[in-house]
Amino acid sequence: MNKILLIIRREYLSRVKKKSFIIMTFLTPLIIAGFYGLIIYFSIKGINDKTDTIAVINQNKTLTEKLISNKNITYDYVDKSFESLKKSLTRSKYDYILYIPDFDIETPKGIELIGTKQAGLSLDGKISDSIEDLIRDYKLKKSGISQADLDNLKSKVIIGTKKIGDSGKEENSSAGASTIIAFVAGVMMFMFIMLYGVQVMRGVIEEKTSRIIEIMISSVKPFQLMMGKIIGIAMVGLTQFLLWIILTFSISALTVSVFVSKQDARKMIASSSKISTGKPGAQQIQAAAINDGPLGNVQKSLENLDIGKIITVFIFYFLGGYLFYSALYAAIGSAVDSETETQQFMMPVMMPLLLGYALSLSVVTNDPYGSIAFWLSIIPFTSPIAMVVRLPYGVPGWELVLSMGILIIGFIGTVWFAARIYRVGILMYGKKASFKEMVKWFWYKN
């Protein structure tokens, strides 16, 4: 036992002390936070951070109601001719001239927007929306609806999706928020298992090619060496994961406080810390959610998701899935003499993981309670990814327990299976390993 601890310690320290680990660990949250800061910056300030002043020349006799200025656009009704204003535009305080000719209210046309620079799509859209509103209001009033009723009509609709939780309590939820979390968790799980599983394989190959293996196993049992390596690297993964969470949280908080006023910041931090970590893909979704969606609602839901539970379950499935796969990776590493030979063995190990990944992010996010989602999250080959993807949508307790139990049995199985191949493989040199050969090794007596 003491020897396993020594091995774990070496495997852990030798990796954590590496420059690449330190750089990866500290740089990734910085990049994420930087990215995040940009998104927040733009979503708060808006793409147009300056106000456009627009001179409106209204020659329309029916459309007498004025356009209302807002944060980004100031409408200034002027009483000049279009032509004279056009000539003096560059010297005037106006950015654009909006020309509304006297058109028939049923077929509005001939409206022009002229500026010193090309008007952007969003400005264009905002102005045409405003004019459409004016026309609609005019028509409605004509058909006898009072101004008071009109004001009443304008209401912003936000659907507050809720679900009844296990406890029977209503919880705020949002499909958007759940999907964000699900994607981030799924991508991270896949990446972690791959990354650290391959590290185990590399470590085994390194010991084999550097020929230290024989010195090692005259001191320790092959099983101890294999488990020491697997556990040591698992701890490296956990360290990185936790550091990422902590760092991303604090750096994001810092970034946010630079860009956003204190009151807004509180909301932002709450959401940023929860969807921190992750890939460009996830970031885009995040960005989309922040830009399009009823942002406030997503944030509220994020605050209502049990982040503690999600992180705990994530760590469990990371460890379980990692143990499950890394044992197989260790067996592959033991069977080959160099990394180039690993290809043919990697495929069958990668396939279920890739399949689980692809299905989880498509089928499962679409239908998190369907039977495919259920089976994917029960079978240990795919459950680590499928389950963390399902989790934000809510998973019945018994399914979680069943899935976890099967995963534990699963990794004990793969560790046992891998250990039997490993103990023979690490001492085999120059022999081209095949699946047939590995089956033979499996049955060797000690």
- Interface residue list for other proteins (CB under 8 A): 3, 6-7, 10, 14, 206-207, 209-220, 427, 429, 440, 445-446
CB of 224 to other proteins, least distance (A): 9
CB of 427 to other proteins, least distance (A): 7
Indicate the residue among 10 and 266 with the shorter CB distance to other proteins.
10
Residues 235 and 315 sit within 8 Å (Cβ to Cβ): no
Indicate the residue among 131 and 220 with the shorter CB distance to other proteins.
220
CB of 220 to other proteins, least distance (A): 6
CB of 12 to other proteins, least distance (A): 13
Indicate the residue among 138 and 223 with the shorter CB distance to other proteins.
223
Instruction: Compute the distance between CA of residue 339 and CA of residue 336 in angstroms, rounded to an integer.
Output: 7
CB of 3 to other proteins, least distance (A): 6
- Tracing tokens 């996830």 back to the chain, one arrives at 282
Instruction: Compute the distance between CA of residue 218 and CA of residue 213 in angstroms, rounded to an integer.
Output: 9
Q: Which two tokens stand for residue 74?
A: 């100031």
CB of 244 to other proteins, least distance (A): 24
Q: Which residues pair with 55 in a beta bridge?
A: 76, 97
Indicate the residue among 61 and 211 with the shorter CB distance to other proteins.
211
CB of 208 to other proteins, least distance (A): 9
Indicate the residue among 98 and 335 with the shorter CB distance to other proteins.
335
- Tracing tokens 């810390």 back to the chain, one arrives at 273
Instruction: Compute the distance between CA of residue 413 and CA of residue 4 in angstroms, rounded to an integer.
Output: 20
Indicate the residue among 20 and 90 with the shorter CB distance to other proteins.
20
Instruction: Compute the distance between CA of residue 423 and CA of residue 373 in angstroms, rounded to an integer.
Output: 37
Residues 373 and 402 sit within 8 Å (Cβ to Cβ): no
**Among 186, 218, 234, CA closest to 330:** 234
Residues 220 and 2 sit within 8 Å (Cβ to Cβ): no
Q: Which two tokens stand for residue 417?
A: 């299976």
**Among 127, 129, 135, 130, CA closest to 62:** 135
CB of 202 to other proteins, least distance (A): 12
CB of 218 to other proteins, least distance (A): 4
Residues 53 and 30 sit within 8 Å (Cβ to Cβ): no
10 Å CB burial of residue 108 (0-12, 13-18, 19+) is: middle
The residues, ordered by sequence, that sit 6+ positions from 369 with a Cβ below 8 Å of its Cβ are: 393
For β-strands 162-164 and 52-58, DSSP reports them as unpaired
Indicate the residue among 136 and 431 with the shorter CB distance to other proteins.
431
Indicate the residue among 432 and 440 with the shorter CB distance to other proteins.
440
Q: What angle do CA 325, 188, 328 make, to 5 degrees?
A: 5
Indicate the residue among 95 and 207 with the shorter CB distance to other proteins.
207
- What are the DSSP E strand ranges found in 169-276? 170-172
